[in-house]
């Protein structure tokens, strides 16, 4: 409402005050115009009102008519020129699909670069405690801890599981990538010994086992090339 009244007020002042005053000042200036094209303007002359320096009557009238509404806006919660902030909340499925989409685009780019350089590219989906089954008491504690942490009302485990689900489904249906990825996400599910040191990373034994599987993939590919 204040915004509407302010716009009406400015238009009325413009039509009834500033345009006639501007015309009058311009006509008066034309009558006093010097024939010399090199006119030295004296901008140092001013008059002070309310401890404010004004360098023309027009600037004084602008201040006089706009000042009341400026003070009103300063004392109100209305923000005319600031855009409204919109909070957009997304579900785990929406976020997972977006992140999976970006990941697959990156994989396609890497695969293209590999093809250009006559290289074989294989993408490995890393083991993750949050998408596999807990094998030890420590695994259960880690999962419980991360499950209690929430973002926008959903646990982190929900986001990660949805992401892995979307990623694997999307890659398996992608003609360019479906034969170039290996799913290691649950390779530690049936192992009773401790492999994970936190919900994402695994220790020396887990790294060793992953390295063996990756080495086998590379060796098998090398054999097929012979």
What whole-number distance in Å separates Cα of residue 14 and Cα of residue 8? 10
Burial of 175 (0-12, 13-18, 19+ CB in 10 A): exposed
Q: What is the pLDDT of residues 49-68, one digit of tens each?
A: 666 666 666 666 666 666 66
Phi and psi torsions of 16, nearest 5° = -90, -25
**What is the reported pLDDT for 38?**
47
Residue pair 58/22 in contact by the 8 Å Cβ criterion: yes
Mean pLDDT of 76-94: 67
**Domain range summary for the chain, segments of one domain joined by +:** 2-34+43-74, 92-225
User: Count of residues for the chain?
Assistant: 226
Res. 22: pLDDT tops 90:
no
Rg of the Cα trace of the chain?
Answer: 36
Mean pLDDT of 41-49: 58
Q: What is the pLDDT of residues 164-215, one digit of tens each?
A: 999 999 999 998 898 888 999 888 887 888 888 888 888 898 899 999 999 9
**What is the reported pLDDT for 226?**
66
Mean pLDDT of 112-122: 90
């Amino acid at each position: 409402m204040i915004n509407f009244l302010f716009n009406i007020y400015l238009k009325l002042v413009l039509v009834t005050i500033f345009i006639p005053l501007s015309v009058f000042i311009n006509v008066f200036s034309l009558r006093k115009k010097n024939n010399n094209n090199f006119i030295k303007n004296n901008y140092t002359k001013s008059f002070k009102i309310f401890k404010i320096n004004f360098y023309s009557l027009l600037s004084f009238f602008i201040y006089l008519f706009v000042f009341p509404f400026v003070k009103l806006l300063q004392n109100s919660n209305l923000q005319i020129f600031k855009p409204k902030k919109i909070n957009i909340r997304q579900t785990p499925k929406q976020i997972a699909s977006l992140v999976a989409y970006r990941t697959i685009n990156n994989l396609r780019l890497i695969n293209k670069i590999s093809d250009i350089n006559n290289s074989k590219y294989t993408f490995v989906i890393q083991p993750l405690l949050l998408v596999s089954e807990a094998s030890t008491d420590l695994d259960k504690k880690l999962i419980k801890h991360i499950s209690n942490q929430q973002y926008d009302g959903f646990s982190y485990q929900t986001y990660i599981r949805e992401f892995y689900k979307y990623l694997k489904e999307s890659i398996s249906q992608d003609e360019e990538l479906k034969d170039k990825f290996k799913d290691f996400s649950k390779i530690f599910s049936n192992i009773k010994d401790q492999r994970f040191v936190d919900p994402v990373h695994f220790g020396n034994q887990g790294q060793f086992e992953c390295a063996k599987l990756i080495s086998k993939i590379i060796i098998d590919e090398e054999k097929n090339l012979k």
